[in-house]
A and B are shown apart, each in its own frame.
Chain A
């Protein structure tokens, strides 16, 4: 890849697109809000389908999780590989989501969301062969996806923990939420995979791969920057 492929106007074009995609996430933050929040607070007892819906909604509208998955499947061409990696991601986040809520694990939400932002940077950096070419080694991609899955799950657990969840039906509700997360993930991933596959048939895919992943990196840094700013500047009350 030569210098000319890395021209600024292409970067700006792809960057702008990604930025617009990420904007709603930045504008609204990514928490459970409004009437959904009052529902979660009020519920006492098992509520399988509402929690499934909330889990799916959280995933489909969760730009941080989606950007990470775009990075993960960017260079996966075979559905078999997509399923492998996404299963690893799902195992990772299921473990920490279930364990985190049941064990009442309290983690700073800004910290976790910063890590999630940086996981996007990591994945994009890996996609442009950053580790191999710059540092001369390749971390195991499967283990990386699993580990970041653990962090994403901790993020989900933290969002749910912000509510005073009733112990009555807790396990049922968390498992329902988790199943919803997987459903939402399959829905979102199918859309992303189809779009990427369409784009792959055009010659511009590989040409823009480098720039797109650079933009993905910028998006990850931006989400991390947002969370760090929130941690530093948010009033304490």
Chain B
């Protein structure tokens, strides 16, 4: 490779020395830094000393929730081209699981509005046309989180929603009006 310009060729001894140093440096870095930081193995205790072991700790599958646990079941009858919006008040990081089932196809839009902003700041997570959906939801911010359903057929469709989660209350938006629903905790 060094054909273009003659280079003072290093002697074999320093080549071997350099290669050995390269290998040793790489081995030291691997053992003292990479193993504790990436793989949770700390053979020399250097990871603990440098505070690197925190990097390889896996996310805890357990996640504590601060709100009380509530469940909810609600049913909406949608006539031809009628729509409804149903949303839960949830804090940041609050979770819920849900299923909704309709006896005919509906348009749905799962979305949320951050607290303290206008309605135009809604963020949509999932839209489509379907007769059912199951899922889990993890609130990305504090605010109201839920669904918009619209019956785009001429038949009447009933949507049933089952949820369980760490929300505070819920609100129905229908026919230009809103009303809140009080939900009971499951533990008392």
Contact = CB atoms under 8 A, between A and B. Distances in A.
A133 B10 contact: yes
B16 interface: yes
Contacts of B5: 75, 77
Contacts of B41: 229, 233
B55 to A, nearest CB: 9
Nearest to A121: B22
B9 A1 contact: yes
B4 A229 contact: no
Nearest to A26: B34
A1 B14 contact: yes
B74 interface: no
Contact of A126 (B1, B22, B30): B1
Residue with the highest number of chain B CB atoms closer than 10 Å, among A3, A78, A129: A129
Task: Specify the main secondary structure of chain A where it touches its partner.
Answer: helix
Contacts of B10: 1, 6, 128-129, 133, 210
Task: Specify the main secondary structure of chain B where it touches its partner.
Answer: helix
Given A221-B22, A222-B25, 5 more contacts: A75-B4, A128-B10, A225-B26, A225-B30, A226-B38
Contacts of A210: 10, 14, 18
Q: 8 nearest interchain CB pairs? A: A221-B26, A225-B30, A217-B22, A1-B10, A218-B22, A233-B39, A214-B18, A222-B26
A206 interface: yes
B8 interface: yes
Given A1-B10, A134-B12, A125 B17 contact: no
Interface residues of A, number: 44
A133 B11 contact: yes
A224 B17 CA distance: 20
A81 interface: yes
B17 to A, nearest CB: 7
A130 B19 contact: yes
B15 A133 contact: yes
A211 B35 CA distance: 26
Contacts of A129: 2, 7, 9-10, 15
A19 B30 CA distance: 12
Contacts of A125: 15, 19
B15 A218 contact: no
A128 B15 contact: yes
B29 interface: yes
A48 interface: no
A22 to B, nearest CB: 10
B44 interface: no
Nearest to A81: B4
B1 A217 contact: no
Nearest to A85: B1
B49 interface: no
B15 A217 contact: no
Given A133-B15, A134-B15, A77 B23 contact: no
A220 B39 CA distance: 19
B27 interface: yes
Contacts of B2: 75, 127, 129
B41 to A, nearest CB: 6
A129 B35 CA distance: 32
B21 interface: yes
Residue with the highest number of chain A CB atoms closer than 10 Å, among B1, B19, B30, B39: B1
A211 B27 CA distance: 18
A44 B14 CA distance: 55
